Structure 1
Amino acid sequence: MVSIKRHSGIYTLEVKQLVNTSMQEAWEFFSTPRNLAKITPAHMGFQITSDNVDEMHVGQIITYQVGILPGIKSSWVTEITHVAPGKFFVDEQRFGPYAMWHHEHIFEEKEGQVWMTDRVSYKLPFGFLGHLMHGLFIKKQLLGIFNHRFQTLESYFGENAKDSLSQSA
């Protein structure tokens, strides 16, 4: 399920997906920063520019270049702020296109599969203009990114129940 809600000027996007794999395999895949490029749409030109992205740890700074609009690339710097192996990790934007970006990745094992929850709390720059841009294209872009991610993970880890992702944004 994908949802986006607004509260106090902050948006929260939440995605839940059942992944047909073991907790160990899911954790190994998602806690390896270089794998982010594998689940990001190719048209965004996502590229990690920092070294040492084979294993995640608290305090790790990861730098990227990413296309935020056609023909417009942005630098993005995130820090891994919390890690509980096999349970969750959090990355936070330190520099980039958002006024705030806090991304929680939560993993729960259930009957040999893994429920993944992505919860992204973000704030846009430019006040009212940012809110207007959200309605015009940012919301659509984020839904597209997470829908691409869903399809990619289905291909990578195998088919799950068809209804494990639905849009309610």
Structure 2
Amino acid sequence: MNANRLIYTQKIPAEIEEVWDFFADPMNLVYITPKEMHMRITNKDKIGYLEKGMIVSYKLFPFFDFPVKWTTRITHVDRLRGFEDEQKEGPYEYWHHRHLFKEIPGGVEVTDIIEYKIPFGFFGKMLDMLLIHSRLEYVFAYRRRKIGEIFGETKAA
């Protein structure tokens, strides 16, 4: 499978336990997703603190008034080091997201590694080139800003 791969890294001036606790609460995903996407977790009464096997279901509007239902499963959890989720049902042919956390001097380095594939063959590739890739870039840039607002920004040396 030829999946697309995106990697985003951010340095956060906070303790690893604080950063982990934020990301280990699936409800916080709503706060770091662009407001205009109207993201809502639809099974919030069935989820708690992050654990392997957890199912998280969402409804969001990634493009205009087009609603998308998306369900992910947490497939791996290594406390304070990382976790992974995969799409169970949703818009992608394939979606795998690794969230990695590493203590560094002055804080935590957070890395997101996303691998995804769009369905519909050639049409899907064109859709990705014209719309989806840039939208994912926008979403993760927004996420970076929001995380910076929550935890602060690491100053360049």
Q: Is TM (by shorter chain) over 0.5?
A: yes
Does residue 142 of structure 2 align to residue 144 of structure 1?
no
The residue identity in structure 2 corresponding to 1:103 is H
Encode CA deviations 1:39-73: one digit per residue, 9 max, x unaligned: 00001110000023330111111110011311111
Q: Aligned residues, how many? A: 156
In structure 2, the partner of 1:53 is 47
Aligned with 1:159: secondary structure?
coil
Once the 2 structures are TM-superposed, how far is the Cα of residue 162 of structure 1 from its aligned partner? 5.8
* Identity level (%): 37
CA contact (8 A) 2:47 2:55 kept: no
Residues 14-163 of structure 1: matches in 2 within 5 Å?
14-50=7-43, 51-161=45-155
Question: 1:67 aligns to what SS in structure 2?
Answer: strand
SS in 2 for 1:9: coil
State how far apart, in whole Å, the 2-side matches of 1:155 and 1:16 are: 16
Q: Distance in 1 between matches of 2:75 and 2:111?
A: 17
TM-score (norm 2): 0.95
Displacement over 6 Å in runs of 4+? none
Cα RMSD, aligned residues only: 1.3
Query: Residue 91 of structure 2 aligns to a residue in which SS?
Result: coil
The residue type paired with residue 14 of structure 1 is I
Larger deviation: 121-130 or 53-62? 53-62
In structure 2, the partner of 1:5 is none
Q: Residue type of the partner of 1:144? A: Y
SS at match of 1:97: coil
What CA distance in whole angstroms lies between the structure 1 residues aligned with 2:16 and 2:98? 17
8 Å contact 2:39–2:60 — kept in the other structure?
yes
Q: Structure 1: which 5+ runs fail to align? A: 1-7, 164-169
